[in-house]
Amino acid sequence: ERAGAETYALPVSFVSGPEAEVLRRERPQAMMAEVEVATTAGTETGLLFDGLEDPDLCTALLEAIWRRRTFRGAAGELVAIRTKALGKLRGPEGVSLAPESLRGEQSNTSVVYGGRLVFKLFRRLSEGINPDLEVGRFLTEHAGFPHIPAVAGALEYRSGHRQPITLGILQAFVTNEGDAWSFTLDQMEGYYERALSLQAEVPEVPGPEGSYLELIEEDPPPPLFEMGTHLELARLLGQRTAELHLALTHDPEDPGFAPEPFTTLYQRSLYESMRTSATRNLELLRRRLEGLTGPVEAESRRLLEREEELLGAYRAIVGARLGGARIRVHGDYHLGQVLYTGNDFIIIDFEGEPARPLSERRLKRSPLSDVAGMLRGV
């Protein structure tokens, strides 16, 4: 590939006649181009549109995974993969699996089948197995971790001796009340409303002498627990996170998931990566400084004045040998990657940060990187 070249998946369908007019009127966002094609009767005008808006194509994709079909092309082949979980998730014969495309602000596109299965197509593709499939399949088939959508199948593109490309993943559809971010905002709104109404009854919590993180080790006053259940649910999310990390170490014989120690070479690499990233961002801030005003400008100047102190703090990484182990992690962990079911949490989207190279997203890291991502997202 040329430097900077990227590959994207784009399923395409064709429609003509009255169906084309319906598409033009009701789903204009799915249209790509108006084309004229040759037929035995002459020519026919129709529309090319996003294939995941085509119920027939979506049904064909599910059928291909169910029957483990392979479609050969000029340069490679599309291979459908099915796991043991699909039979149970698909349900008995006769159950409706009518496809419905999900529209939302996301980098991928999803199709739900009868409220039982969901197929996610990865739009931006990279050579190699996608972590969402790799990790999801490991947790489903080897670790038996119940707090993720079980992986039921996938689509891969294979060409010669190159690594397969993951095009999409089929998973269990999880009935939920939204992601944990929306749930948390709703909980906080109600919590503060109740707190204001009980203001006189709740004792003031004194601030710590140092960091406010010190309050984590203290129990909140009893009235705070009585005003809502969010603290208990936060504890449950922490438990599910720990259980996830334990599940990701389930098979020490699997080289892709076996825990590994922190080596001095890894520590040096981590230090250099963090230092380079910080230097690049500080330089960007320095160039944009003249365009900032008010408190943001003042805080930015204070940060830039402490650049050496910040970079010096990273040196602790290459000091003493680090304990613990590096494992596979979620990689992009925040409240938006967790679904709330009404009484529990389901962890989703193990793809990692899509903007990062696939090889980087598959690296083993400290499980605390997920914890830090969650705290940052809060």
Percent of the chain with pLDDT over 90: 72
DSSP string, 119-161: EEE-SEE-SB--HHHHHHHHHHHTS--SSSPPEEEEEEEE-TT
pLDDT value at position 230?
Answer: 79
Q: Can you name the residues that pair with 112 across neighbouring β-strands?
A: 100, 118
pLDDT value at position 38?
Answer: 87
Evaluate whether 133 touches 154 at the Cβ level (below 8 Å): yes
| 53 has pLDDT over 70 | yes
Average pLDDT over residues 60-76: 96
Average pLDDT over residues 191-205: 71
CA–CA dist 157, 214 (Å, integer)? 51
The per-residue pLDDT for range 152-178, each reduced to its tens digit, is 999 999 998 899 999 999 999 999 999
Q: Among 32-36, 233-237, 239-243, 351-355, whose mean pLDDT is lowest?
A: 351-355
Each residue of 230-253: b (16+ CB within 10 Å) or e?
Answer: beebeeebeebbeebbebbbeeee
| 219 has pLDDT over 90 | no
| 1 has pLDDT over 50 | no
Average pLDDT over residues 14-36: 93
| 293 has pLDDT over 80 | yes
pLDDT value at position 218?
Answer: 73
* Nearest CA among 121, 207, 231 for reference residue 165: 121
CA–CA dist 354, 43 (Å, integer)? 42
Average pLDDT over residues 74-97: 93
The per-residue pLDDT for range 323-362, each reduced to its tens digit, is 889 999 999 999 999 999 999 999 999 999 888 888 899 9
Place of tokens 């389930």: 250
Evaluate whether 329 touches 365 at the Cβ level (below 8 Å): yes
CA–CA dist 129, 91 (Å, integer)? 28
Evaluate whether 49 touches 22 at the Cβ level (below 8 Å): no
Question: Average pLDDT of the chain?
Answer: 90
Evaluate whether 112 touches 173 at the Cβ level (below 8 Å): yes
For residue 162, give the DSSP letter. Answer: S
pLDDT value at position 204?
Answer: 66
111 burial (CB, 10 Å; 0-12 / 13-18 / 19+) is: buried
CA–CA dist 337, 173 (Å, integer)? 15
Evaluate whether 164 touches 111 at the Cβ level (below 8 Å): no
Tokens of 44: 């026919």
| 80 has pLDDT over 90 | yes
Average pLDDT over residues 204-221: 67
